[in-house]
Structure 1
Amino acid sequence: MCGIVGYSQNHPQAIQEMLQSIRHRGPDDLGIYCDEGFSLGHTRLSILDLSHAGHQPMEFEHLVIVFNGEVYNFRAIQKELLGLGYTFFSDSDTEVILKAMHCWGEKAVDKFIGMFAFALWDKRKEELLLYRDRVGVKPLYYYFEGGELLFASELRAITAIKPNLALSQAGLYEYFQFGYISSNLSIHQAIHKLPAGHYLRFKAGKIEVKPYWSIHTFLEMPPFEKSEEELIDELEELLVDAFKLRMVADVPVGVFLSGGIDSSLVAAILQKHHGHIHTFTIGFENPRYNEALYAKGVAEHLGTEHTERILSAEEAREILYRFPEVYDEPFGDSSGIPTLLVSKVAKESGVKVVLSADGGDEIFCGYERYPIAHSLSRKILSLPYPLRAFAGRAMESFGAKRAGYLFKVRNLEHKFNQLSEMLRAKDLEEFYELLVHNSKNYEIKELLGETFPPKSRAFKVGERIHPMQGMMSWDYERYMVDDILVKVDRATMFHSIEGREPLLDHRIAEFAARLPFNMKFREGKTKYILRKVLERYLPKEMIERPKMGFGIPMFEWFSQDLRSLFETHFTPERLKSSGVLNPSYVLRELGKLQRGEPVNVNKLWLILVFLMWQEKAR
């Protein structure tokens, strides 16, 4: 795991500044390449070939590369290249990628199994190629204005050279709607994310961005016509291969273990087929959030070397105040706090690579909200749209406040407005988005003054298979990439360790896309096929337990801290200086909290994170 940067000028000083801003991503080495066409920089966390032979930027003939991530099957590709007459001076995957691109050109990426973001500068063609892995595990931002291109692993490296950029209104809307900024957007209008499974070509002051892989291709294929046992066997074989590949490293490797299905599956398969696995769990004194007992039971059954730590509010409080520093654009997922803390525990235990079991929910139908949303949508959307729209408008005209005064139901005003919006949903995608919003459309409109409804082709592609597959596809392309994977990348990199995502091997995603839907969800049971594989490793009673998620008792812990932070930042002057927030709306919501009235504290948390980020960014 490393950090990469680049600039379409011969500017070593700018590259140095960019690298220093993301030095936490790679404290082991630093390198710069500059010529008249382009400048590249790399800061290295040494995982493979710890010698200087793995130094980057790396050159071969007319090509120069900077690379972040891991290509796990590099030895197989290297063997193929050796047969074609190539020689190698290092034992690094970077050199294999470089020479694979030299040999096969853009088609080489089809051979790579792994997580990656890399830049390839062709001195002969005066052309730059940027690639991001198929699923989007590794981040890659770019700025392009007036023929000038900058790119970096993190946003902060670009803003170090281009400060005071205008905010993106669409990005702001996404943040306050979902708690993260999705798609190719960022918080800045001039900076974008390279989408997962895409490449960018820069030549003669122009760019083009194109896909080279999409999960849609596999969702649109006919489902497998195989027996249940054949599918379970095939998936297990694929999981074993994918997980073992991710143990390739010249440094100690560990696994984050929650005791849930996904992390238990990773730990179980690796302990059996690799051995000597070190697992890490954090726990809490509050039993509502504490999964440590489940994780300990799994670890004892498997015989892993297990490290458990009960984390206190004091430790979490340190992270709370540094949150905007870690996530360098507004990021409202509070589970980033325990992710940072478990990364710290792994780092202190001497581990340099950790495996995190993300992706199973989005690929194998794991979220409990899917069947709930499906059931609710069937009841509401079955009504004719004109009737629903009329009822929604009537509710809006009647007024949520008036309803609240009349019926005296707790938080009725919010529920009234939410139902009014859901009744007017034009389709299932809009209905689902309304369910997963942190802040509803009426709230964002009052906070920001405008809305930017997002749309995703992924939902429609998945919905042809099953309504819940549409929800999964939406989460796969948005929530998973731009919340879950961002959270893990920044948390691990903040502590200079590498996070790997074994369930997000693209071959597993392709396989899952072609599974009959009843192999993912059956008779009210989520992750049906994953459970069947796990039953081969763990007793059934250790598998069948309620899903808890990776949360913390945030508002119980931070009630005083948050109230203090709210009151410090939510002043008329600070709110007005934000330039985008409606002070009267924020102060009205804060007043509810202070008076002990029903209020969405998570909504206030999103506003707080934005203001803390903005203050730091100025």
Structure 2
Amino acid sequence: MCGIVGYNFNNAALLDEMLQTIHYRGPDDKGVYANDSISLGHVRLSILDLSSHGHQPMEFENLVLIYNGEIYNFKEIRKELEKYGYSFISNSDSEVLLKAFHKWGKECVEKLRGMFAFALYDKAHQKITLCRDRVGVKPLYYYFDGKDFVFASELRALRKYKKFPIDKVALAQFFAYGYITHDRSIFEGVKKLLPAHFLEFDLKNKKLTLQNYWKYEDYFKIAAKSEEEIIDELEEVLTEGIKYRMVSDVDVGVFLSGGVDSSLVSAILQKHYGNIHTFTIGFKEQKYNEALYAKKVANHIQSNHTEYILGINEAKEILLEKFHEIYDEPFGDSSGIPTFLVSRIAKENGVKVVLSADGGDELFCGYERYWWSYHLGKKLQKIPAHKIFAKALHACKPCLSKIPIKNIEHKLEFLQELFQADSWAQIYDAILKNYREDMRCLGLVPPSNISKDAFAFGEQIHPMQGMMLWDFYNYLPNDILVKVDRATMINSIEGREPLLDNKIIEYSATISFDLKYRNGQSKYILKKVLERYLPKELIYRKKMGFGIPMFEWFRSDLAALFERYFYEDEIIDMEYPRALLQSFKEGRYVNVNKLWFVLVYKMWKERYY
């Protein structure tokens, strides 16, 4: 895994500064390429072909490549290229990608199975082509002001180019969802290259064009097959995708939570390779602790298992000293703390590549909020003229807020927005948000609903499929994959996502919805595959998720952090958060996520702005 930077002018000092900010993404090597019209930089974490032959930037005829990622099927593509007369001096996937682009142009991405973000400079046509993988496993940001075009793997590198103002729309997204979604970043004018997109920049005319090259929705063609046939085929495509992630010249481990997805990945790998190393983080607070289940799975498959219990003092240390070094824009997912720690433990155990089983929830209907939202929405639809209730709630809110019910104000805000909903998309959006209309108390405008087209497509199949597509295009790339990429990279190890192999994703679209969720059972078909590897008592249990005991911790030692950071702010109005904090200190129930998001924002701002 690596880091890349570049821009359309020559400035050697800036290039070095930008690379230095992301050196941990590639501590094994550094390289640059520059002329009067282009500067490209690369830092390398050596995973395939550990020799100097894998050095980047890599040149071939008129093309120069810098690349972050792994192409797992590079050997097959290499054999195909050799038939066309191409020869190779390395055993790296980088050289295969470079020559595949030389042969097929942008169409080469149709052949790639992997995770990638790359920039390719065409000297003959004076163009830069950026590309990001289908799901967005690998990050890539860019900025263009009509003159300067600058890009990098992480925002911290772009800040060496100049200081950007905060994007208030992006900040509102963060306070609503806990992450910044779609193509925005926290900095005004700086954008993410969306997953499954090309960006082409013409160096002569200074014109930028974007192109989408893949869509999940295109594969929703339900196959007429028996359940047993689908189980067989799904196991086959899962096994192939998971085995591809073992392509490496260094040791590989697996993050094991004991849930369905990580247990399946671990079990398949253990069957085919044996002696795999699994890693788990647990908590002393038992209702958050999945380590017990992970240990049972590890014992059953006989993996080499490492368990670590995270306590409040270590979590506090990570939050204060590491969290905002890891995440260079506001990031509200508190599970980033244990994800960082389990990555560090893997590194300490000599592992340079780890597999993280993300994506199963979005592909196979795993989150509890899907069926909870669906049943709530069905009840809402039975209420005639439900928008009248929203107006009544708004009028009565001052009185109702005094009722001694846990988190009453947040629940009233939720009900008010829910009763105003006209569609499944609005219902789901209301359920996802933390700050809603009360965001106006911060001086921000609540963000509009996102990914309506994808939701509408999925809703034709089932409302829960719409929710799954919403998460596939929003929550997955902007929260889950950001978390894993940054937490692994800061430890200079590579995180791989086997369940997000494009063939697995595309096959999941051919499975009817009633095989994903059946009779109250989530991930029905995935669990049927897992039954071939684990006893049922290790499979059929309540889903826990990978969170931390935030409320319990903030009631004690971490509460002082709020006091430390809840000072005046020139971007948001702090009166409302301080009122929430006062209620919290008085022992009243409040939505602790609202306090957490403000804390995260303030800590980030102190470090980066």
1:122 maps onto 2:122 in alignment: yes
The 3-state SS of whatever aligns with 2:562 is helix
Shift of 1:536: 0.6
CA–CA distance in structure 1, aligned partners of residues 58 and 283 of structure 2:
45
Shift of 1:79: 0.5
The CA deviation string for residues 426-461 of structure 1, in whole angstroms up to 9 with x for no partner, is 21101101101122x222121134222132121111
The 3-state SS of whatever aligns with 2:161 is coil
Kept in 1, the 8 Å contact 2:176–2:447? The answer is no
Kept in 2, the 8 Å contact 1:381–1:427? The answer is no
> Which sits farther off after the overlay, 309-318 or 423-432?
309-318
CA–CA distance in structure 1, aligned partners of residues 387 and 258 of structure 2:
45
Residue aligning to 1:206? 207
Match of 2:462 among 462, 466, 472: 466
CA–CA distance in structure 1, aligned partners of residues 603 and 405 of structure 2:
34
1:226 maps onto 2:245 in alignment: no
> Which sits farther off after the overlay, 445-454 or 53-62?
445-454
1:539 maps onto 2:538 in alignment: no
The 3-state SS of whatever aligns with 1:30 is strand
Structure 1 segments, 4+ long, off by >4 Å, are none
Q: Percent identity of the aligned residues?
A: 55
Match of 2:520 among 500, 521, 524: 524
Match of 2:437 among 418, 442, 458: 442
Letter in 2 for 1:171: A
Kept in 2, the 8 Å contact 1:64–1:120? The answer is yes
> Which sits farther off after the overlay, 578-587 or 351-360?
578-587
Q: State how 1:46-445 maps to structure 2 within 5 Å.
A: 46-163=46-163, 165-203=164-202, 204-219=205-220, 222-321=221-320, 322-384=322-384, 387-398=385-396, 400-405=397-402, 407-439=403-435, 441-445=436-440
Q: Which runs of 5+ in 2 are unaligned?
A: none
Q: 1:232 to 1:292 in 2, by over 3 A?
A: same
Letter in 2 for 1:311: L
1:554 maps onto 2:525 in alignment: no
Residue aligning to 2:587? 596
Q: TM-score, normalised by structure 2?
A: 0.98
Letter in 2 for 1:496: S
Between the two proteins, the alignment pairs up a number of residues equal to 605
Letter in 1 for 2:7: Y
The CA deviation string for residues 118-159 of structure 1, in whole angstroms up to 9 with x for no partner, is 000000100000000001100111111123111111111001
> Which sits farther off after the overlay, 445-454 or 269-278?
445-454
> Which sits farther off after the overlay, 303-312 or 362-371?
303-312
Shift of 1:288: 1.1
The CA deviation string for residues 311-346 of structure 1, in whole angstroms up to 9 with x for no partner, is 232222221112122100000100000000100110
The 3-state SS of whatever aligns with 1:393 is helix
1:606 maps onto 2:597 in alignment: yes
CA–CA distance in structure 2, aligned partners of residues 460 and 239 of structure 1:
28
Kept in 1, the 8 Å contact 2:172–2:444? The answer is no
Letter in 2 for 1:390: I
The 3-state SS of whatever aligns with 1:279 is strand
Letter in 2 for 1:127: K
Q: TM-score, normalised by structure 1?
A: 0.96
CA–CA distance in structure 2, aligned partners of residues 94 and 449 of structure 1:
44
CA–CA distance in structure 2, aligned partners of residues 32 and 43 of structure 1:
9
> Which sits farther off after the overlay, 153-162 or 310-319?
310-319
> Which sits farther off after the overlay, 557-566 or 354-363?
557-566
Q: Which runs of 5+ in 1 are unaligned?
A: none
CA–CA distance in structure 2, aligned partners of residues 459 and 207 of structure 1:
28
The CA deviation string for residues 379-421 of structure 1, in whole angstroms up to 9 with x for no partner, is 113445xx222221122123x121233x443433332222111
Kept in 2, the 8 Å contact 1:244–1:274? The answer is no
CA–CA distance in structure 1, aligned partners of residues 363 and 585 of structure 2:
42
Kept in 2, the 8 Å contact 1:401–1:413? The answer is no
Shift of 1:558: 4.3
> Which sits farther off after the overlay, 77-86 or 558-567?
558-567
CA–CA distance in structure 1, aligned partners of residues 392 and 549 of structure 2:
39
Shift of 1:34: 0.5
Kept in 1, the 8 Å contact 2:173–2:446? The answer is no
The 3-state SS of whatever aligns with 1:464 is helix
CA–CA distance in structure 1, aligned partners of residues 495 and 593 of structure 2:
27
Kept in 1, the 8 Å contact 2:113–2:501? The answer is yes
Residue aligning to 1:4? 4
Letter in 2 for 1:404: S
CA–CA distance in structure 1, aligned partners of residues 124 and 186 of structure 2:
35
Q: 1:556 to 1:394 in 2, by over 3 A?
A: closer
Kept in 1, the 8 Å contact 2:22–2:154? The answer is yes
Shift of 1:559: 3.4
Kept in 1, the 8 Å contact 2:10–2:36? The answer is yes
